[in-house]
Structure formats: structure tokens, C-alpha cells
Structure 1
Amino acid sequence: MSFYSDEDTSDELGTLGWYHHDLSRHAAEALLLSNGTDGSYLLRNSNEGLDCFALSVRAKDSVKHFHVTRKDSSYVFGFNEFANLHDFVYHFANQPLLGSDSGTLIVLKSPYPLRVEEPSIYESVRVHTAIQSGRTEKDLVANAPSLGTKEGYLVKQGAFVKNWKQRWFTLNRYDLKYFKDKMDEEPIRTLDLRACSAVQFDYSQDRVNCFCMVFPERTFYLCSKSAVEGDEWIKLLRWKLSQLRKGR
């Protein structure tokens, strides 16, 4: 895998394929934990000032952040100074950054690219971050692929016997799948959002935090554990539908 992209070659940083300039600390952690592997790393801007960066590295089930400072054309990390980022990466690919509390050595193994073949990986973090900040689906990136992902438990009403059962839901691309339990590999059913005409709050049920999804053959009634969680599901689902309509 190449470390560099084909963008502006006048500045090494601008040509770095794993430089996620404006990615926040929270989003970096979500990205690496959700889609990276042990040793995956990326560089991002630090809020400590100009020429200050943060190297975020996944170490098994956590993400460690290290300060990196640009000094003229070199990069300073702790007591080490490197002429360029290539030397920096080469050094720490062969020498551990440090040992964690559990004795695990942290080594740079694979750069997490800014551009990935599956846009949903990066867009899902951007969508989640936007929703967490209280913005609506209308505030999300207009030209972003409608590929955000989400998962969690929802309570679903049965089709024939109108009882309510907890199910594990996963949303990926245009597929909303639900499983009997989180550990199950095969879904009970897969709903294609391209056939969904509306997602809206529902107050007809004797339950709180409910919303419904309207399909030609059936309307699905779902309830979340909290109003915040329900709002996140609705915003993301509506955003996906809006992107689908734009593509028609």
C-alpha cells in the first residue's frame, strides 16, 4: 500500500495518503476501532496550534494518541527528530512507540488511508459525528454517499401477533437487517431502504420512543430505549432516503 496520494506534491504533508487533517480525536477513535486493526494509524491536526499534529494508533481494543510537531521541514516526536515523515514511519514501524500498561508494544503497522474503496467506512463516522452534535440530516454533507452505518437493539412489533420483541438491527448501505440477537450471523430479515417511502415518529402505539418505516407491503413499528437513540435512527434513515431520491 502506498503511503502517499497524488495530490499537491509541493508539501509532503499534503501528499500523505493517511493524513486526515480535520478529523477529531473522537472520530479518529471511532474510525480505527470500527474498521482498523492492531497497529493501524493515521495523522490528524491537533488543537494545540499550528504545526501541531496527533498520531492516532490503534493498540488492540484502544486508541493511543501521540503529539507530533513540525519544526521547519522536520518532525519532532518526543526526543526524536526526523527529516521527513517517511523516516518517521520507517523508524516506528521497526521500533515500538511504547509499551502499554498490559505490556503490549505499540508498533506502526498499516496506515489508515484518507480514501478507501468502501466510502461507508469514512462517511459513517462523519454522519455519526454530525448527528451526535445535534445537526439534522439536512446539515450532512450534501454529496456524501448514502452509506452511513449504525447498529443497536430496537424493540419491534410482530407482523401477525402484535407483541413486541427486542431485536438487533444493523444498517449498512441500503440494507437494514434485524437479528434475533447480536451474536447471530444470519438475519431474520433484510429490509431494502430503496423500497421505503417514509420514516417518521409514531405516537399510535402504547409505547414511548417509537417510529415507523413505511414499505409497500407493510409498515414496521420500532421502539428505541431512549429518545436520543430513536432520534439518531430516524435522522440517519431519513438522510439515506433523501440521498436515494436525489439519485433518481
Structure 2
Amino acid sequence: MAQRRELLERELVALGWYHGNLTRHAAEALLLSNGKDGSYLLRKSNEREDLYSLSVRGKDSVKHFHVEHTGTSFKFGFNEFSSLKELVMHFANQPLIGSETGTLIVLKHPYPWQVEEPSIYESVRVHTAMQTGRTESDLVPNAPSLGTKEGYLIKQGKIVKSWKTRWFTLHRYELKYFKDQTATEPIRALDLTECSAVQFDYSQERVNCFCLVFPLRTYYLCAKTGIEADEWIKILRWKLSQIRKQLEEHNATLSS
């Protein structure tokens, strides 16, 4: 029995989006602060040993659904799957859940438990400890950043050089911009694997500007504050360094 349990745990970890003993509260904090509409993860349920919870983020809330392990299969709603692989394939091809409230939730983005973070941190000058009486179990784990960022930036037009406010989202190696935060379809998606440089720009009359250099066009963007512009530049440069690193590793594999 213990051996079967250990084997199951290994299979779950291999999913990549299984978060083990993550609590309901911590899962909500994680998905609301760093996930997006359609982000989901699997975790242990504290109700029974054979139950797991699928936590899924909607636009502004997180829903939780039971996944039951029967010993030979996994039950999810009216569906039953013989293996985790079959369960994952179902999520990939039928990514829709109907909740009791009538809300339809789409499973789009598995939220990985292991991420490589960009090192965008302030150094600590002074740290003063105060005794609060709380213990480690009272604290909610910090959510990993996943190297994602979103926010409003002012963008210069390609032909007419006017400036318009657009909503930007950075996920993996793709920078998308939308008419506003409520728009569902992006105006354009920029592939960062084609970007050669990200740098501060002082050629514009505006302040807090930076640019992204692509083969056919340079995009000029401005943030509201210098700190925000610096954050965008740091995370975008980190993305480019990751792309170069992967390319170098790929070339080294080919030549070896």
C-alpha cells in the first residue's frame, strides 16, 4: 500500500503542475497574484487521503474541484480516467468545466510547481525583527513570479507617431498588447525570440521610455514611473538572456 502511494506521488510530481500539500488559501493567493484567467493546479485535499483538489482561476476568483483516486482510476465529475496521462490529455483536449454556479471555466495554463525566477530583487539595507507570536504555520508561502508581468504602457504608433495607452502582458517568451485590460484578443503578439535588444530610450520627448529592437521594427514604450520602466526592462532582458542560454545549450548539443 505504501509502495503504491509512493508510486502515485511520483506520477503526480511528474505532471509538473501538482503542488502537493499546498493549502486552499495559498493556492488562491498563488493563482490570483501570479496566474491568469484559465490557470490551474492540482493539490492534495485536506478532506480525505484519496481526494485531490483542482484549483482553477476564473477572471477574479478561484474555484476548487475534487479529483478522486479510487486506487485504479481517477474520478473527475462524471468522468473516470484510468491514468494520470489520460487525465492530462482530457484537460488538454476538453478544457472546460461547468461549476455549480453555472460558471464555465476554461483550463488554459497549467501552473508549474517549479519555476526559474528572474532575479529582480531589492537588496535589504536594514532588517528589524519584531516578535509577533505567530508561527511558521500561520504564514502563507510566497508565490513564485513565473517571470510574468502585465500592466499599462504608452506605445508609439508605427506609421502615425501618436502615443496610445495599451495593456501589455508578458508570458513565457511572448509580449502581447491589447486595446485595454478588458479586451480578449490582442492587437499584436511579439515573439521575444526575434528581439535583439531591450534598452532605455532617451530619443523621445516623453520620460520613462524604453525600446524593443526587432529586425523590422523598433517598438517605443513609456511607463508611468522610472521604477516601472526599470522593472519591465529587467524582466525583458532576463527573458532574452534565457533565450540566448537555451540557444547556446541547443547549439552545444548539436555540435557534441
TM (norm. structure 2) is 0.50
Distance 1:179 1:212, change over 3 A: same
CA contact (8 A) 1:176 1:191 kept: yes
- Residues 71-93 of structure 1, C-alpha deviations (whole Å, 9 max, x = no match): xxxxxxxxxxxxxxx8x5318x7
Residues in 1 aligned to 2:37 and 2:217: alpha-carbon distance in whole angstroms: 38
Confirm or deny: 8 A CA contact 1:209 1:226 kept in the other structure: yes
Deviation at 1:153, TM superposition (A): 0.7
Check conservation: 1:196, 1:213, Cα contact below 8 A: yes
- 1:31 and 1:122 in contact (8 A); partners too: no
Distance 2:185 2:173 in 1: 17
CA distance in 2 between partners of 1:110 and 1:231 (Å): 43
Query: How many Å apart are 1:156 and its aligned residue?
Result: 0.2
Residue 195 of structure 1 aligns with an amino acid whose one-letter code is: E
What do residues 128-147 of structure 1 show as CA deviations (whole Å, max 9, x unaligned)? 7x53x327xxxxxxxxxxx7
Across the two proteins, how many residue pairs are aligned to each other?
A: 165
**Partner in structure 2 of residue 134 of structure 1:** 122
**Who is 2:47 aligned against?**
89
**Cα RMSD over matched residues?**
4.4
Indicate the residue corresponding to 2:29 in structure 1.
Answer: 29
Q: Which runs of 5+ in 1 are unaligned?
A: 8-16, 44-85, 94-105, 136-146
1:6 aligns with 2:10: yes
Moved more, 28-37 or 231-240: 28-37
| TM-fit CA distance, 1:125 | 7.5
Taking the aligned partners of 1:227 and 1:27, their CA distance within structure 2 comes to 32
Q: Return closer, same or farther for 1:36/1:223 CA change in 2, 3 Å cut-off.
A: closer
- Cα offset, 1:121, TM superposition: 3.3
Matched, 1:160 2:159: yes
Match of 2:204 in 1: 205
Quickly say closer, same or farther: Cα 1:197–1:123, change in 2 above 3 A: farther
2:190 match: 191
1: CA distance, partners of 2:199 / 2:212: 7
C-alpha distance in 2 between matches for 1:40 and 1:235 = 28
* Counterpart secondary structure, 2:215: coil
2:212 maps to amino acid: M
TM-score normalised by L of structure 1 = 0.52
Unaligned runs of 5+ in 2: 12-17, 52-62, 69-87, 93-107, 124-145, 248-256
1:229 aligns with 2:228: yes
- With over 3 angstroms needed to count, the CA separation of the structure-2 counterparts of 1:189 and 1:196, relative to structure 1, is same
Residues 187 and 242 (structure 1), Cα distance of their counterparts in 2 relative to 1, 3 Å cut:
same
Matched letter for residue 117 of structure 2: V
Q: Is the 8 A contact 2:156 2:220 kept in 1?
A: yes
- Deviation at 1:40? 7.4
